[in-house]
Amino acid sequence: MDPIKAMSLLNRACPYLARTGMTALQGLADAGLSGGGMRSLSTSAVEQARCGVCPGHTGQSALLAKASECPVVGPSIRANDAVAAAKAAKAAQQAPVTACPYAKCVDSADADGKAKVNASCPSKAGAAGAAGAADAPVSHDSQEAVFDYESLYQAKLAKKHGDKSYRYFNNINRLAGRFPQAHTANAANIVTVWCSNDYLGQSKNPVVVDAMKDALDMYGAGAGGTRNIAGNSALHLRLEAELAALHRMEAALVFSSCFVANDATISTLCSALPDCVIFSDKMNHASMIQGIRHSGAKKHVFSHNDLAHLEELLAQYPRSTPKLIAFESVYSMSGTVGRIPEICALAKKYGAITYLDEVHAVGMYGPHGAGVAEHYDYEASLSAPVGQRIAGSLMEQVDIVTGTLGKAFGIVGGYIAASSSLVDMIRSYAPGFIFTTSLPPPINAGAVASIQYLSGSQRERFLQQTHVRQLKSDLASAGIPVVPNPSHIVPVLVGDAERAKMASDMLLTEHNIYVQSINYPTVPVGEERLRITPSPGHSADMRSRLVGALDSVWNRLGLRRTADWEREGGRCGVGESRVNSEEHVGWKRGVEYMWEDHQLKQARDYEMARKGAVPITPAIPETVQQVISATMV
């Protein structure tokens, strides 16, 4: 067939090729194999497509190869092939096989009925030539330039600098004896840290530090290997038992970090479940997103806390299809809260399992620090011993809990808690658990001590939540825009990456206050912010200095205040109606804070009774506060 006519056939078949110039089409056709090693479109693309004997012929042109990959024209080509094959079969009953231009390639059939190909066949010769070229050693005698690796690195960094998303790491050295103080690269330069994830100051708690020192003296610094090879100790087992009891689950498994825990668990579980479908909240952490990608499972992303959207997606699949709903209890950059009861109800309705990330909630919520799921059943959890399952509780409805030892517990590491069979399956199959050195004994000992301490103490949670309320109130009075939420996170909206970085730098260099700016990809472009996390150790004087410094920076940089955002229609809850905000934040309607007034009173009364009616004061010695005040004057 004439090459131009052949290309016209493909051109008309595809709405995309129809827009392609004839010169480009001719170039693709000429790139096909023809003659001894190359065949033109007329003897490759069209003839082969109509030949039922040689469907795998290697003379396929680049044009046909590309067209076959096209999601539009590809199915048409395959359908036409089927029709052509049927016609050829019918014609074969009326004409000799030699009517096929490639029939001469077939000498005869072997005993199994497989065609024997003639060595003189140009098709075979072309394939043999290609195979020989592939087997030939690559020559390095040419003057061809090697790939410019450094240019690529520099181009990627230039892109980060260009969109203002490049990340600068400040040299901040937290001082255990002066929590929440730190020094910068200059040890004499003392700053107040307002953005640490060591939410309760447990990293410097003497109970935790002493336990780590004892383990260090007895067992040394390192674990000695993976859990399978010399790295499994009594402290690992005890830590996992403590975590299982905390979440009232059958078993727990400890990982080197919660990023690894999420990645390893989701990827291992969902790749094992046949035809699994994952439903992921739009604001989920990168570790869960990574696990979803690595699982290879089909996924749907539902709008943040949007139950109607989630149900719409779930309803597309039969109850028999394995499903996993992945979401968080406290979203770290917005402070919003996952709709745990409603999501668990949807999971039950549609036959899904729930995967709840409590990373920013463990230690912080519930009477024992098990997280938001425990906090929903505060009174029942308060009266039930740790480890005892509570029938009908929200904790019992969650299938898999994941958490961290590196935030409120003040150490490092991550974990999951679930049924014993699920935990054992992850232990047996997850590469992220199997092939990595286990946590060192001092880390395990410190984590056990921290979990036990926070399970019995309400002082730190009471102080932290009280300070959060006071700071949010002060910022609201100053018109500083805080993203509304019922949790301990205080996100201050800036809305521009460059100016968020400038605000952070000014606070540090001019006011000795460290608050990190947050930009893309951690938050969407246009929602850049400063993320503030009050602790039990932040005094009233520190809080007053922070609010004054933010007010000054907002004035100097001309940043929008709450009223400005409201005039513009609002953004991520700031300047929006209360109804919209409540739908976004995810907690109980009409309840401003997760720690409600009567729960804070209970925590205060409990601590005063435990300490012999001693008032609860900020978790920082008065003498240290005096030293800090003196250095800040």
**Catalytic residue ranges:** 407
The closest of 345, 320, 344 to 399, measured between CA atoms, is 344
CB-based contacts of 58, cutoff 8 Å, min separation 6: 33, 123, 126, 127, 130
Q: Give the largest CA-CA distance in the chain.
A: 106
Q: How far apart are CA 427 and CA 348, in angstroms?
A: 26
Do 572 and 334 form a contact (C-beta atoms < 8 A)?
yes
Range list of H helices, 303-430:
307-314, 340-350, 372-376, 378-383, 394-397, 420-429
Strands 190-193 and 513-514: parallel
State residue 393 phi and psi, 5-degree precision.
-75, 160
State residue 89 phi and psi, 5-degree precision.
-65, -40
CB-based contacts of 234, cutoff 8 Å, min separation 6: none
Neighbour-count burial of 569, counting CB atoms closer than 10 A to its CB (0-12 exposed, 13-18 middle, 19+ buried) = exposed
DSSP state of 490: E
Q: How far apart are CA 64 and CA 66, in angstroms?
A: 5
Q: Return the structure tokens found at 573.
A: 């809850």
Q: How far apart are CA 296 and CA 277, in angstroms?
A: 10
State residue 193 phi and psi, 5-degree precision.
-90, 125
Torsion of CA 283, 289, 295, 301, to 10 degrees: 30
Q: How far apart are CA 22 and CA 4, in angstroms?
A: 9
What's the CA angle centered on 376, arms 371 and 379, to 5 degrees?
A: 105
Strands 400-404 and 414-418: antiparallel
Give the SS3 label for residue 491. Answer: strand
Give the SS3 label for residue 34. Answer: strand
* Helix, strand, coil abundance in the chain, percent, nearest 5: 50, 10, 40
